[in-house]
Structure 1
Amino acid sequence: MNRTLIVAASCLLTWAWAGHAQSDKKLSDARTALEKWVETRQLISKTRADWQADKETIQQTIVMLERELKGVEEQFTRLSTNNVQADKERLEAEALLKSSDDGIAPAQQFASEFEGQIRAVLPRLPDPLKDSLKPLLARLPAEGATNTQMKATERVQVLLGLLNEMDKFNNAVNVFSEKQKNDQGGEVSVETVYVGLGAAYFVNDAGDFAGTGSPGATGWEWINQPKLANHVREVIRIYRNERPAKFVSLPAVIK
């Protein structure tokens, strides 16, 4: 009986110990499994977070690249447009240059011929006017020059300037101090009244030397006429507002 109880107790103890050992193993396995699960969840969370960050970076990069690509495409479009515009402007410039070349020869020819006409009338101009024209005349090409760097437009502008000065002189009464030769060949200081480009009258301060002048083929021609002295002096006084305006009779030479 006692032996039986001992054996039974031994069996119970063995079973209890075996059950306890098996329970510890299950607990350990459960703990290990839980740790694995937590680790896996953490890895999944980290992977998801890393992916989200990478996704945002990639998306930002894509947006940036798309913006740069759009900018490059716009530059190509502008370049293409500019090239078309440049080609158009080049063709227009070439056409304008050709028309300018076609028109420059007649313009140069006109300027050359007109310069010749101006030079032809220079001797017939009053000396004071010729003196005032010297700066403009100096800008013209040398007489007979066939190869000049001066543009046709510049030559025409000079010619217009010359004509303008001549026209102003011709439409006014001008008084200048000059020298005239008397009958003995001596020079006398006189004041000369130019009435336009066609007539002139001179007188000295003493009023005993006077005369008239008119343009000739090689220069102005002067004739001494002392009897005109008072009339010429009266004209000069009126010119200087020393006398009221009135009619003064003076001879004129028509050529």
Structure 2
Amino acid sequence: MLAKIVCVGCLSLLLLSDLVAAEALRAMESQVLRLADLQRSEWSARQDWQSQRQLLQDQLAILQKQSAVLATALAAQRQETAASAAGNADLAGELTALQARLGELCAAMLTQNDALLALRRRLPPDLRRHLQDAFSRLERLTEAAPALTELPGILQTQLSVLTEIEQYDHGIHLAKEVLPNPDEQRREYDVMYLGLAVAYALSAGGDRAGMGVPTAAGWEWRWQDEWIPAVAQAMAVARKEQPAQLLRLPLPPIVGEVRP
């Protein structure tokens, strides 16, 4: 999306006078450098997320296969036990081994659960509400160890949550939310999420604008009245009320950058 904005900006510069074009070009160069820094930062974060997601998916696939093997083995052994009392000692040993493997499987699932529940705090409220039932099922894992018959369903829930999060991260989403102002009053805002990287908010009356970024404790918002025109225009474009155009939206600080 950033690349498209830069291309539209370049076309717009051709229509300006020489003096204005030179000034706009200097501003554009500064913005492009800042966007490039942000892209590198977002790319690094996305690479970390993709690596974590791939690891989670690989582990989920392995755990799902182990679950199926365990279920088949236990079912077969129950049949053998009912058919004959011979070899009870060997069977007891095998059952002990299977129970140990089941314990390892449950421990791995709990590790995945902790990661997903921690990630939940970084999600936008509308996505958290959409995944509320799934997260409620996953929260029950912290209360009691799951039964063997519950493992396939739990694994599927974990994978579904990961898929929903990734799909959200690839889109632009509009929502209405009640957010706190610096004066500690809560007001309703129109909010536009650019994936999971950054969000922009505009009050219903159009007199307050803000930018939000996800943190480990939730979304952190900053408010500046000078952002109102750009944020209002961006939301109009997102709603297709205006054609696509160059927009100079505020950007999150680069890692290590001192905030004003």
Q: TM-score range by the shorter chain?
A: 0.5 to 0.7
> What amino acid is the match of 2:113?
E
2:188 is paired with a residue whose SS is strand
> What amino acid is the match of 2:173?
N
1:117 offset after TM fit, Å?
A: 0.5
Matches of 1:146 and 1:180, distance apart in 2: 35
Partners of 2:117 and 2:135 within 8 A in 1: no
Matches of 2:105 and 2:142, distance apart in 1: 16
Calculate the aligned-residue CA RMSD, in Å.
3.0
- Provide the residue aligned with 1:199 in structure 2: 198
Matches of 1:207 and 1:147, distance apart in 2: 50
**Alignment partner of 1:183 is 2:182:** yes
Query: RCO higher in 1 or 2 (8 Å CA, sep ≥ 6)?
Result: 2
Distance 1:178 1:107, change over 3 A: same
2:205 is paired with a residue whose SS is coil
- Provide the residue aligned with 1:145 in structure 2: 143
Where in structure 2 are the equivalents of 1:4-153 lying within 5 Å?
A: 93-94=76-77, 104-142=102-140, 144-149=142-147, 151-153=150-152
Q: Which has the larger radius of gyration?
A: 1
Partners of 2:172 and 2:193 within 8 A in 1: yes
Matches of 1:105 and 1:220, distance apart in 2: 36
Distance 1:193 1:91, change over 3 A: closer
Partners of 1:107 and 1:152 within 8 A in 2: no
1:105 offset after TM fit, Å?
A: 3.8
> Structure 1 length as normaliser, TM-score?
0.57
Matches of 1:184 and 1:169, distance apart in 2: 31
Distance 1:91 1:212, change over 3 A: closer
1:141 offset after TM fit, Å?
A: 4.8
Matches of 1:92 and 1:186, distance apart in 2: 60
Matches of 1:137 and 1:144, distance apart in 2: 11
Matches of 1:91 and 1:165, distance apart in 2: 33
1:213 offset after TM fit, Å?
A: 0.6
Matches of 1:141 and 1:181, distance apart in 2: 28
Partners of 1:104 and 1:152 within 8 A in 2: no
Distance 1:248 1:165, change over 3 A: same
Provide Cα deviations, 1:221-253, integer angstroms capped at 9, x if missing partner: 111111111111111111111111223222222
- Provide the residue aligned with 1:231 in structure 2: 230
1:103 offset after TM fit, Å?
A: 5.4
Matches of 1:168 and 1:202, distance apart in 2: 22
1:160 offset after TM fit, Å?
A: 0.7
Gaps of 5+ in 1: 1-89
Partners of 1:125 and 1:197 within 8 A in 2: yes
Matches of 2:236 and 2:139, distance apart in 1: 42
Partners of 1:141 and 1:148 within 8 A in 2: no
> Structure 2 length as normaliser, TM-score?
0.56
**Alignment partner of 1:242 is 2:248:** no
Provide Cα deviations, 1:95-151, integer angstroms capped at 9, x if missing partner: 9x9797675444322211100111112212111111111011122252533522262
Partners of 2:174 and 2:190 within 8 A in 1: yes
- Provide the residue aligned with 1:30 in structure 2: none
> What amino acid is the match of 1:163?
L
Matches of 2:102 and 2:182, distance apart in 1: 54
**Alignment partner of 1:220 is 2:219:** yes
Provide Cα deviations, 1:45-70, integer angstroms capped at 9, x if missing partner: xxxxxxxxxxxxxxxxxxxxxxxxxx
